[in-house]
Structure formats: C-alpha cells, structure tokens
Amino acid sequence: MSAAQVNRSRPIYLDYAATTPVDARVAGCMAECLTAAGDFGNPASTHAYGREARTRVESARAQAAALVGARPGEVIFTSGATEADNLAILGLARGARAARGAQALHVISARTEHKAVLDPCRQLEREGIAVTLLTPADEGRVTPAQLQAALRPETVLVSLMHANNETGAIQDVAAFGALCRAHGAAFHVDAAQSAGKLPIDVQAMGIDLLSFTAHKLYGPKGIGALYVQAARRVSLQPLMFGGGHERGLRSGTLAVHQIVGFGAACALAARMMDGEAVRQAQLRARLWAGVGSLPGALLNSPSVHALPGVLNVSFAGIEGESLLFGLTELALASGSACNSDSDEPSYVLRAIGRDRETAQSALRFSLGRDTSPEDIDTAIAAVRREVLRLRSLAAVSASGGEPECVASGEAGAREQGTWVRFMLKMEGGTIAEASHQAYGCPQTLAACEWLSGQLRGRPWADPGLGGALDWARALQLAPDRLTRLLVIEDALRAALAAAQRRVAPG
C-alpha cells in the first residue's frame, strides 16, 4: 500500500489529472510548519522564527527548481499554476508593451491550452495585443512547422503546454524552445500536468517561463511556482503589489507549510518518476486493451506521445453523462458538458477534430501512484457493462415495422443530445406494455423509465399523465432539464398518435 492510499470504501479514483491526494510524507513535512513547536514564523521576519522559516522556504525552492532543471533563484512561488500562467502571459506581454510603446505586439498559443492560458490571451486581445491560436495537427500535437509559420517580427511571447490535461498529448517543447530562441520571442510552458511525470530541463529545452503546481504531484493545493529565466525577469510585470516579496513579482506573506509541502512533493516525484512512468504506461496499455475492443471505441490520446497515466476514449453512440452516471464504482472525468454552463462538450476534443457527439461521449482515465492492476480490471468491467447497456438502450430497431398491436413514436436526434422512442403494446383500449429506447443524459433515461412504468395499464386514448412540467415536478428535476422532457413528451405524443391510427376505423 502506497503512502498516498485512497479510501477504498469510495469509488476507485481515476482522476489524478484533476488533483492528487497529498502524500503522507509530504503532509508530515507540512505539519512541522504549523504549530508553535515547529517552523511557523514569517520568512520575512529577521528574528529566529523568521530565519528558521526562511531556511525551510529556500530549501523547498531548491527542491522545486531541481525538478525542472532550474536554479533556485529563478523560481517564484505563486498560489498555483493558474496564477503562474497569468503572471507569465500578462506580465511578459504588458512588460513588452511598456518597453516598446506603441509598437504592435503578437502572442502565439494553441486552441487546446488550459483555460488558465486561453483566458489571459483573450484579455491581451482586449488590451490590443494580437493573439494567434494554433490548431493542433494529428493526435492533438502542434508541429514545429506550425509554430514557425505563425511567428512574426512582432511576436513577443509563445505559450504552449508540455502535456495536455485532457488527452495527455505531449508537445515537442524542445523544438518550440529552439524556434523561439532563434526568433527572439519568450517561450512559456504550462507544465502543470507534466512536472513530476516527465523529465524537464528548462535550460536544455530553451524555456524562458514555466508554470507548475503542487497538487498535481501529491502536494497541497494552493501553491505553485513560475520559473523565470533570469534575463526575462527584468521585463516581467507583477500582477500583485504589496511587500515586494518574491523579487517583487508576487507580493504576499509566504505560506511556509504549503511551500515546504511543495518542495517535499517535488523531491519525492523526482525519485519516483522513472519507475512510475513505466508502471503507469503498462496499466494504461492494459486499460486500452480492455475497452478499446468495444464497438465504437475511439482513442483520443496519442498512441505514442502521451502521458503514461492518461487515456482519453470516446464511445460512439453513447451519451457521456449517462455513461459516467452509470459508472458508480469509478471516479473519473467525462467529455460531456451536460453538467456545466456550456452547451458544448470538451473544447479540446473539438479542436482536435472530434464532432460534438463523439466529444461528448469521452471518458478521461488518469492514473496515479495508487492505481493497481485490480483497479484497471474493475474499470474495464464497469465500462464494458455500461457501454453495452447504453448502446442497447439507444439502438434503433431494424425490423422494418412493428407488430399490429404495437405503436411507436420518436422525437429528437442524437446530434442534438437527446433522442427518445416509445413503443406501446395495446390490448383493447389499454396500454398493456410500454418500453422505450433513448439516447440522452441520466435524467432523460430516468424520466423515460418512469413514464414507461406509469403508462402500463392506462387507457391509450388519455393516459392522464400530464406533460413535461408535470413530470419535472414529479421527478423533482431542475428547470434546465425541461428541454429534454419536451423531447420525451413529443415522442410519447407521437406513439399515442400512432396508436390512434392503428385502431381508427378503415
């Protein structure tokens, strides 16, 4: 059992790309900096308590720097990778604008970047700086040729991630770094997913700025870092102002316990990296072998250039939220956006060429130190069970017609996210049996199942079940599900109309 063992009374955790548990060894180091008996002082203080805390901070800074091949003085602590990304992108671009005055400026990034990069880039556009977003080529990877073609004389910054958080695609950052050095543009890398999992040497890779965070490598949330190459630091503008901490780039009292935990997590990751990469790659291959044989399975992760612990798979003809809802024994991420504020599924999968339905049916499995072969086998069995169940439920009959006693009606479309078909078996004036086929979110499937049960034994001419609003109240569904219930209502009305036609005289 590893020091990061998760609670096995809960679902199997396969969402390590979202966050990792704090390693017990890391937590122990953090605890030493919390109470009066430990190193709790303010590192900016000059008394003994402050000096002790400052020693712990600088030791952690050296550990974080060593993980990415940097010098300790080049690492700036932040609240996480999001702040580090913002400081790198906004700070560098605004610094360049201050230095160049009215000259035109240009920034390059990619459509598959994390929102922590894309949103600062959009902010730069609002500030009058031109931004080019590259569309990845095969398997979600930007090519050096694409970057070369996008570089302009006024390009001041290129921001391209090392490894994608959804697909695990690894970019050729060393090639990008060489191009940026030759051009004179600063090169920023979001390494939130790769730090501690892939070897990184900022000097050899030609990286000027690099963001990474603790909670992706078994450290605490709320602490990250930005590597800033010494020559670039002079042109970087801070986002926060106060006491001038972190060489004037990030004011605020340093969180000693978090920083110490970050450093310990970096040192631990450096020692475990090679062995874990091999082990997780083997588990990833085992997982793909188990689910890749399912009908309609499509690999969204690169076959070669991918993080060893990330596997993204779509299942054609399956609604992603319903698939995730049925996998009660697993904790993982879906490509479905049904439970978000967006009507679109994963923008990363859309950017690499997946259509809406395929992107929405995706599952992201991300493995970690505690993932076992038994966990993978359980995941395979669960995914196979649910994919086959939902595929059967969503299958369209190819019989060419219905028996005389059966009336059917359908509404919606898979492309729109909801499709429903009701089949009613009639005996005299009564609905003897009601069944359904459906493609949609879990609430859609639950509503269809409930209605099928309610219809049995009722007169087909007037079942007396009301409409979508009545069903929403009965099932206690949120108002945003009403559109799906309207599709169900249309399908039921079509089936009842078919029943009327079957029994009509003549």
**Co-location of 42 and 93 in the same domain:** yes
**Co-location of 253 and 301 in the same domain:** no
Compare 187 and 99 and report the one with higher pLDDT.
187
DSSP 418-462: EEEEEEEEEETTEEEEEEEEEES-HHHHHHHHHHHHHHTTSBTT-
454 pLDDT tier (thresholds 50, 70, 90): very high
pLDDT at 498 (0 to 100): 87
Residue 366 phi, psi dihedral angles, 5° rounding = -125, 125
Percent of the residues in the chain that have a pLDDT greater than 90, as a whole number:
65
Known catalytic residue: 338? Answer: yes
pLDDT at 405 (0 to 100): 61
pLDDT at 397 (0 to 100): 42
Compare 501 and 504 and report the one with higher pLDDT.
501
Q: How many domains in the chain?
A: 3
Compare 86 and 444 and report the one with higher pLDDT.
86
pLDDT at 468 (0 to 100): 86
- Within a domain: residue 11? no
- Listed in sequence order, the residues at least 6 apart from 276 whose beta carbon sits closer than 8 Å to its beta carbon are 197, 308, 309, 369
Euclidean distance between CA atoms 300 and 503, whole angstroms: 50
pLDDT at 341 (0 to 100): 43
Residue after which a domain boundary falls, among 394, 425, 451? 394
Q: What is the CATH number of the domain that holds 157?
A: 3.40.640.10
Look up residue 119 and give its two tokens.
């949103």
pLDDT at 338 (0 to 100): 44
Compare 1 and 77 and report the one with higher pLDDT.
77
8 pLDDT tier (thresholds 50, 70, 90): low
pLDDT at 426 (0 to 100): 85
- Listed in sequence order, the residues at least 6 apart from 1 whose beta carbon sits closer than 8 Å to its beta carbon are none
Helix 482-503 crosses helix 468-475 at what angle (to 10 degrees)?
120
Look up residue 287 and give its two tokens.
């997982």
Residue after which a domain boundary falls, among 252, 270, 288? 270
**Co-location of 259 and 316 in the same domain:** no
Q: Is the pLDDT of residue 159 over 70?
A: yes
Separation in Å, CA 114 to CA 111, 138, 194: 9, 19, 13
**Co-location of 294 and 228 in the same domain:** no
Domain span including residue 213: 18-270
**Co-location of 339 and 445 in the same domain:** no
**Co-location of 124 and 141 in the same domain:** yes
Quick check: 229 and 199 in contact, CB under 8 A? no
pLDDT at 83 (0 to 100): 96
274 pLDDT tier (thresholds 50, 70, 90): very high
Look up residue 22 and give its two tokens.
């704090």
Q: What is the CATH number of the domain that holds 430?
A: 3.90.1010.10
- Listed in sequence order, the residues at least 6 apart from 17 whose beta carbon sits closer than 8 Å to its beta carbon are 165, 166, 168, 193, 216, 307, 309, 310, 333, 364, 366
- Within a domain: residue 5? no
| Among 29, 33, 180, 338, the one annotated catalytic | 338
336 pLDDT tier (thresholds 50, 70, 90): low
**Co-location of 261 and 276 in the same domain:** no
Residue 197 phi, psi dihedral angles, 5° rounding = -120, -30
95 pLDDT tier (thresholds 50, 70, 90): very high
Tokens 């910054």, residue?
Answer: 157
Look up residue 145 and give its two tokens.
């040729």
- SS3 string, 289-328, reads HHHCCCCCEEECCCCCCECCCEEEEEECCCCHHHHHHHCC
Quick check: 420 and 444 in contact, CB under 8 A? yes
Euclidean distance between CA atoms 117 and 142, whole angstroms: 16
**Co-location of 64 and 172 in the same domain:** yes
DSSP 126-141: HTT-EEEEEPP-GGG-
**CA-only gyration radius of the chain, Å:** 27
406 pLDDT tier (thresholds 50, 70, 90): confident
> Any idea how long the chain is?
506
Look up residue 356 and give its two tokens.
């809406």
**Co-location of 237 and 287 in the same domain:** no
Q: What is the CATH number of the domain that holds 336?
A: 3.90.1150.10
Q: Is the pLDDT of residue 4 over 50?
A: no
- Listed in sequence order, the residues at least 6 apart from 88 whose beta carbon sits closer than 8 Å to its beta carbon are 159, 188, 209, 211, 226, 228, 236
pLDDT at 344 (0 to 100): 65
Euclidean distance between CA atoms 90 and 209, whole angstroms: 12
- Within a domain: residue 8? no
Q: Is the pLDDT of residue 85 over 60?
A: yes
- pLDDT per position as a tens digit, 343-381: 568 999 999 999 888 888 899 999 999 999 999 999 999
**Co-location of 333 and 444 in the same domain:** no
pLDDT at 244 (0 to 100): 79
Residue after which a domain boundary falls, among 361, 394, 427? 394
**Co-location of 79 and 63 in the same domain:** yes
Q: Is the pLDDT of residue 267 over 80?
A: yes
- pLDDT per position as a tens digit, 179-235: 999 999 999 999 999 999 999 999 999 999 999 999 999 999 999 999 999 888 878
Q: Is the pLDDT of residue 163 over 70?
A: yes
Q: Which amino acid is at 350?
A: R
Average pLDDT over residues 97-118: 93
- Within a domain: residue 3? no
Count of CB atoms within 10 A of residue 442's CB? Answer: 17
- Give the rounded distance of the alpha carbon of 501 from its chain centre: 49
Residue 36 phi, psi dihedral angles, 5° rounding = -60, -25
Euclidean distance between CA atoms 447 and 465, whole angstroms: 12
Q: Which amino acid is at 381?
A: A
Of the ranges 38-52, 295-309, 366-380, 438-452, which one carries the lowest mean pLDDT score?
438-452
- Within a domain: residue 4? no
pLDDT at 503 (0 to 100): 67
Q: What is the average pLDDT score of the chain?
A: 90
pTM: 0.85
pLDDT at 142 (0 to 100): 97
CA-CA-CA-CA torsion sign (477, 480, 482, 485)? negative
Compare 50 and 233 and report the one with higher pLDDT.
50
**Co-location of 101 and 228 in the same domain:** yes
Q: Is the pLDDT of residue 1 over 80?
A: no
Q: Which amino acid is at 339?
A: N
